């Protein structure tokens, strides 16, 4: 049942014998019914990653009690872990500029129920999309970027005021300051209109056209203080050829950007993405 309430447990820790058995035994010992389980060990770092979904109605207690009871086991294995409740939707604060294709796609998926999130507000440095956003019943907040330091501090305050879980840069077209990236590590997701690490920075389709590439793409990634270099969540490409113009590349790219951002966000809000250094483990 896709709408069945579930607890999702995600774990990262040094690899060793007995982790899966210990976690599974703990859940089974409480009467828990595991409906999905994924595991991976990173060969380079020897870190172990786990994701398990448990039917909430199979347990005799709530998520807070689960956390309290699980903590001693987690400490014994040196785990970094979290437990999320599917009944509590993630809150996405979306940042946009003038281009609306990614925003339009996300709002459609949100309205149709495909993307199970709450969107408490949309923030923009332009007013072009105000009526479109407000038609969806979502507050639209325009931020003047003349003083970038003050503007980004205001955006950070809005993110906290609206209790955002994730900040989504849906073609925001502004470079976030390192202080903001460090303030919300692992909580800012960007869609970059290039198949990273190729063609970072501005006008990647123009860069790709000048190089005569045969593939262009888009990348959904976490934002860090190094430009376009954060851990990659999702990517895709489309083939192009010598007859395509820059405008063609931009048009093809918009379609990829929408789908890549939507997929990456879905993996993220379903707690399927775990960070391993500058890489990600994505349990699809």
Query: Is 50 contained in some domain?
Result: yes
Q: Structural domain of residue 137, as residue ranges?
A: 90-282
**Which residue among 85, 100, 135 closes a domain?**
85
Are 171 and 257 spatial neighbours (Cβ–Cβ below 8 Å)?
yes
CATH number for the domain spanning 170: value is 3.40.50.170
Counting beta carbons within 10 angstroms of the beta carbon of residue 269, is it exposed (0 to 12), middle (13 to 18) or buried (19 or more)? buried
Stated pTM of the model: 0.94
Of 85, 101, 130, which residue constitutes the final position of a domain?
A: 85
Instruction: Give residue-wise pLDDT tens across range 214-236.
Output: 999 999 999 999 988 899 999 99
Determine, yes or no, domain membership for 221: yes
Residue 1 within any structural domain of the chain: no
217 and 250 both lie in a single domain = yes
What is the torsional sign of CA 259, 260, 265, 267? positive
Please give the tally of structural domains in the chain.
2
Ranges in the chain, pLDDT < 50: 1
Catalytic residues: 228
Return the pLDDT at 113: 94
**Which domain-ending residue is among 32, 54, 85?**
85
Do 164 and 189 belong together in one domain?
yes
Q: Are residues 64 and 108 in the same domain?
A: no
What's residue 1's pLDDT? 44
**CATH number of the domain to which 42 belongs:** 3.30.70.260
Same domain, 79 and 108: no
Half-sphere exposure at residue 78, Cβ-oriented, CA atoms within 13 angstroms: 6
Question: Is the Cα dihedral 227, 231, 233, 235 positive or negative?
Answer: positive
pLDDT digits (tens, 9 = 90+) for 1-54: 457 999 999 999 999 999 999 999 999 999 999 999 999 999 999 999 999 999
pLDDT at residue 2, rounded to an integer: 52
pLDDT of residue 198: 82
């Amino acid at each position: 049942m896709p709408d069945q309430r579930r607890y999702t447990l995600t774990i990262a820790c040094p690899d060793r014998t007995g982790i899966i058995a210990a976690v599974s035994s703990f859940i089974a010992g409480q009467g828990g019914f595991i409906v999905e389980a994924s595991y991976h060990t990173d060969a380079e770092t020897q870190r172990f990653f786990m994701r398990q979904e448990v039917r909430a109605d199979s347990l005799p207690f709530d998520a807070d009690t689960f956390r309290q009871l699980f903590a001693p086991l987690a400490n014994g294995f040196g785990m970094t872990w979290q437990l999320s409740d599917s009944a509590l939707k993630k809150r996405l604060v979306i940042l946009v500029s003038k281009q609306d294709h990614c925003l339009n796609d996300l709002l459609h998926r949100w309205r149709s129920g495909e993307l199970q999130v709450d969107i408490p507000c949309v923030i923009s440095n332009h007013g072009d999309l105000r009526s479109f956003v407000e038609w969806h019943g979502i507050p639209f907040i325009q931020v003047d970027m003349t003083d970038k330091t003050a503007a980004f501090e205001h955006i950070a305050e809005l993110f906290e005021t609206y209790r955002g879980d994730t900040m989504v840069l849906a073609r925001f077209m502004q470079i976030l300051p390192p202080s903001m990236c460090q303030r919300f590590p692992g909580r800012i997701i960007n869609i970059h209109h290039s198949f990273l690490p190729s063609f970072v920075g501005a006008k990647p389709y123009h860069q790709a056209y000048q190089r005569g590439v045969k593939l262009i793409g888009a990348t959904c990634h976490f934002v860090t203080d190094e430009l376009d270099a954060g851990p990659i969540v999702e990517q895709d490409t489309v083939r192009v050829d010598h007859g395509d113009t820059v405008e063609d590349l931009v048009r093809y790219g918009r379609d990829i950007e929408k789908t890549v951002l939507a997929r990456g966000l879905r993996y993220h809000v379903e707690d399927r993405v775990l960070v391993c250094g500058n890489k990600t483990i994505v349990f699809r």
